[in-house]
Structure 1
């Protein structure tokens, strides 16, 4: 499929009701975290992964919605604590919140999508009142085992009203890499309105459209990422739902993310960082359909270059393994047509993925020990957003002559 030749399907915007023009179509895709037992393969679910951009509010969004119960459930395998980099990231920010927004008597923080409690652990240890809300029971129970209070549920208007009645208002509502997963932002902001204290803040961080476009991070587009946020589109969404975006901070995690701070109108002054990022986006023309046409052309080029390289290495008798059975790897393997013939298996540290088959491609997932016994000639790094951490851990692979293959921002070998 040639992404640059997609037809402009039109659908209503989920935020403002404007017109969304389809601009990218990755075709048939599986549930990105649907790691399979062999007997489950005949029952695997697929959907069409296509995104468009609203001509009114500029929100980039998927054209088709995957039912939330299929993605986020008791068996959801992702664990945020699996990366030492992310543990440090959240520990550092928790310390910041404790010194600022949560510095006072009987402060209360609610986290939307707390997963295994990687951020709430420091809040809990500091003795600050808290509550995590997450529909993925398996991950939530890991948090509960560490003393963290969790409500196993989806966050929406009714959930927030129930929490407010039982706990009182929240001084901070926090979320990381979750708000972009939720198509029904109207109910989320309705919940924030019901739960947030008058002077409170809603803080969330998510992968940044500006970095995705500039660095061709096309695999950040998969079923869970219903929205691809820009600062301008988040500002428009906040205003649509009666709030004000007051700060935006660019961060390096996940290849580039933004931490947004939203408050009730007039509570806080917009920051200089927010205004600078808005101006930068205007220069990048993130809200224009033409920008995505260029993006699509670069994605097509990456696909062609990656498949060519893998086939050449395979024909030369080189052994190639995958590293990191990530959610985003489904987009890569399906769009590029990579299967176990080119990459016999993928190594991953997540116990819930080991011994299963990667969604769509059905490449087996094995433990990190399999990566070292023996080392391959090349490793295709699907978890490129943790490249420094992984390469440091696997330095013996390089010392043994192994080489890493990366495909963003272009195909290259390290």
Structure 2
């Protein structure tokens, strides 16, 4: 059941549902053992707007339930992502000449300050904005200024008054999390210097559909951005999409560059990618429903494999208590009968239970004492880094189970 059409949060057009993942919990709401009775659930259904083409959730989870003082994710937990942010900062510093004394870079959703640290090392005046006090404290302790709040038009006005206009506003894997995204874009328009740019990275709907990476769809990702929908969003808020660069981060993302109309020459790639989306049917709910059929097939194959392995007496554990693993475990019904526990390096998650299916989260020491027979890799988007780190697991005969782009064992 997909439910009735809804109203688009961008343009108030009709949103046609095309994929339903059923009852889902808040993806980062890890629970203490014995404290699961009042767990919040919602219906995870996504649809596409018939007018502006934005792919979005039909039901909205209250932002304060997802992003709060104790939000457990930390940007710096991945060495590969830390390198990515370092390189991105270096590129922005060079391209936008941020070494000028009056230059300002602002990051929306700065988390623990991994990106801000790169600006700081380059000598760039910078400011982070994030609603998680625990994460912001890490950035502050390292020497970066952070405002603990949600970014909005009002926030942007206050920052411009105290700090001046921003030459660069940057954000990574955050803008799609914000239901009132029009307010964010209006805030960017308020904050940007006349020739400033808004550069943000987010997972790409084209890659999600192509790879059947259905776990990229969870509560935090209110929107699944495409080039055409971002161009429509920017235009409705007085801005212009001037570049769109595919990057491999998180299994396939795009780095968007937005500026004031007429201040930058738009890259031909914007039009090319928008046309590719039209040809792929990324705006057509009927063509998109084939994705749901592939997701169902993946679920059945994964559960079948785990059931067979456990029946044979094999030990299976999960690796990476990621936000997206909530979609997999709850949609597939993966409990402790199929996966013993999930190993994760984030201290804030250890000793707790995963949302919905309540798999125990244990530290990395539990993963190797003793090693299991199989590890279900929820953090598949960091597979290269993880497989290199856990070489000893493979060398002693351990096998990895992955489910993107299809169920397979390595």
TM-score normalized by structure 1? 0.97
2:4 aligned to 2, 5, 9, which one? 9
1:275 matches 2:278 = no
1:217-244 superposed Cα distances (whole Å, 9 cap, x missing partner): 0000000000000011001111111110
SS at match of 2:207: helix
**Conserved in 2, the CA contact under 8 Å of 1:178 and 1:206?**
yes
RMSD after superposition: 0.9
Q: 1:399 corresponds to which residue?
A: 395
Structure 2: how far apart are the matches of 1:78 and 1:186?
A: 25
User: Residue in 2 aligned with 1:19?
Assistant: 14
1:122 match: secondary structure: helix
Does 2:207 align with 1:173? no
Once residues 196 and 293 of structure 1 are traced to their aligned partners in structure 2, the CA distance between those partners, rounded to angstroms, is 39
Task: Give distance in 1, aligned partners of 2:392 and 2:363.
Answer: 17
Query: In the alignment, is the contact (CA less than 8 A) between 1:8 and 1:21 conserved in 2?
Result: no
* Counterpart position of 1:55: 50
| Unmatched segments (≥5 aa) in structure 2 | none
Measured against aligned partners, the alpha-carbon deviations of 1:76-117 in whole angstroms (never above 9, x if no partner) come to: 000010000100000001111111212433100110000001
- Contact kept, 8 Å, 2:99 with 2:123, in 1: the verdict is no
Is it true that 1:99 corresponds to 2:99 in the alignment?
no
| Displacement of 1:40 | 2.1
- What is the CA distance between 1:384 and its match in structure 2? 0.2
Matched, 1:127 2:123: yes
Alpha-carbon separation, structure 2, partners of 1:103 and 1:188: 26
SS at match of 2:345: coil
Aligned position for 1:43: 38
1:122 offset after TM fit, Å? 1.3
Is 1:352–2:334 an aligned residue pair? Answer: no
More displaced 10-residue stretch of structure 1: 63-72 or 7-16: 7-16
Q: How many positions carry a matched residue from both structures?
A: 409
The corresponding residue for 1:3 is none
- SS state of the match for residue 40, structure 1? coil
- 2:99 and 2:124 in contact (8 A); partners too: no
2 CA distance for matches of 1:291 and 1:90? 35
Residue 314 of structure 2: aligned partner: 318
Inter-partner Cα distance in structure 2 for 1:402 and 1:139: 34
Deviation at residue 25 of structure 1 after TM alignment:
1.2
Per-residue CA deviation, residues 299-356 of structure 1 (Å, 9 max, x unaligned), is: 0000000000000000000100000000000000000000011101000010001110
Q: Segments of 4+ in structure 1 off by > 6 A? A: none
Aligned partner of 1:327 among 313, 318, 323: 323
| Residues 1:198 and 2:194 are matched in the alignment | yes
Q: Work out the CA distance in 1 between the residues paired with 2:305 and 2:317.
A: 14
Alignment equivalent of 1:251, drawn from 238, 247, 265 = 247
Is the 8 Å Cα contact of residues 8 and 23 (structure 1) preserved in structure 2? no
Structure 1 stretch displaced more, 174-183 or 119-128:
119-128
For 2:252 and 2:182, how far apart are their aligned partners in 1? 26
* Aligned pairs for 1:220-259 within 5 A: 220-259=216-255
